[in-house]
Structure 1
Amino acid sequence: MREELLALIEKNSRIDLGELAVLLGAGEAEVVSELSALEQEGIICGYHTMIDWEKTSREKVSALIEVRVTPQRGQGFDSIAERIYQYPEVQSVYLMSGGYDLMIILEGKTLREVSSFVSEKLSALESVISTATHFILKKYKDHGTVLSRKKEDERQMITP
């Protein structure tokens, strides 16, 4: 039941408890108990709402930052990753394989704000060797959700 429950709420965290119970063939009390246990165990880490900010008046710039770092003896990459994710601008931090060590996703109000963060805060960290900034120009799909659908042609076909 656990994996099934997790798969269902991952797609829709607002799903009704009664509907969840029916889909899982369980009682509502059992579903509530399982959700609580999953939260306490740290398996469910949070609930988030997907927003297409391009359809609002709020200005927001997102960027992917590739970071090469020198791992610290006895701590590897964990210590520097923890230091980086403490900044409120940082949305995500991932340890990567390949040409760089960490990928950071961050948000700011302007390109300048993001660039300033990278040059003044991130690049200034002792373990950081280099950074590469990639600004996100448009999101088509995020966390499995399509944000930008192709508009269908609504014109009527005229035939002779």
Structure 2
Amino acid sequence: MADPLRLEILSLLEENARLTAEQIAHMLDLSKENVEQIIKELQDEGIILKYGASIHWRKAGKRRVNALIDVKVTPQHGYGFDTVARRIYLFPEVQSVYLMSGAYDLSVALEVDTMEEVGRFVEKLASFDFVVSTTTHFVLKKYKEDGIILDEPDKDRRLVISP
């Protein structure tokens, strides 16, 4: 059974990775040293993988091309989907790879600078013997990502008139 204290620390860090051990300790009524030890254990166990920032690249003035590629594969004899996925996720432009149920086997998420880079990646992917087909979807606009709303509605600028 999972330790509720560890889960609470993980939840706090997932919501805000900038929280210090001292802040977490204060929030959970623990010692700073206890929180530091738990966080170190979580890192050592590979539970905490990375700390990062969610960046709204469009607002920062940098355009990125995001694509989702549906991939149908035929696993090679003696190898399963895990081996196929591993071959794909080793490419640096690949952000995520998921094993899917339904019409295709793998879903691959890319983030690159140009549409041409997506095309080159799809060509590399299609050259693998195990790839039967691909379908590429380009992300036209992001509304919400990692739980953060990116598309803020325009503020109503009309004057309020009351009788």
What's the TM-score once normalised by structure 1's chain length? Answer: 0.93
Contact 1:67–1:100 (8 Å) recurs in 2: yes
Query: What is the total number of aligned residue pairs between the two structures?
Result: 159
Structure-2 residue corresponding to 1:139: 142
Q: Does 1:56 align with 2:60?
A: yes
Query: Take 1:117 and 1:72, find their aligned partners in 2: how far apart are those partners?
Result: 21
Contact 1:62–1:136 (8 Å) recurs in 2: yes
Supply the RMSD in Å over aligned alpha carbons: 1.3
Instruction: Write out per-residue CA displacement over residues 27-83 of structure 1, whole angstroms, 9 at most, x where no aligned residue.
Output: 111111111110111111111210111112223100000101112334311111111
List gaps (5 residues or longer) in structure 2: none
Contact 1:72–1:79 (8 Å) recurs in 2: no
What's the TM-score once normalised by structure 2's chain length? Answer: 0.92
Could you tell me which amino acid in structure 2 is paired with residue 150 of structure 1?
P
Matched residues, percent identical? 48
> Which range moved further: 74-83 or 131-140?
74-83
Question: Secondary structure, in 3 states, of the residue corresponding to 2:67?
Answer: strand
Moved over 6 A (4+): none
Could you tell me which amino acid in structure 2 is paired with residue 114 of structure 1?
V
1:40-55 mapped onto 2 (5 Å cutoff): 40-55=44-59
Query: Take 2:39 and 2:78, find their aligned partners in 1: how far apart are those partners?
Result: 36
Could you tell me which amino acid in structure 1 is paired with residue 156 of structure 2?
D
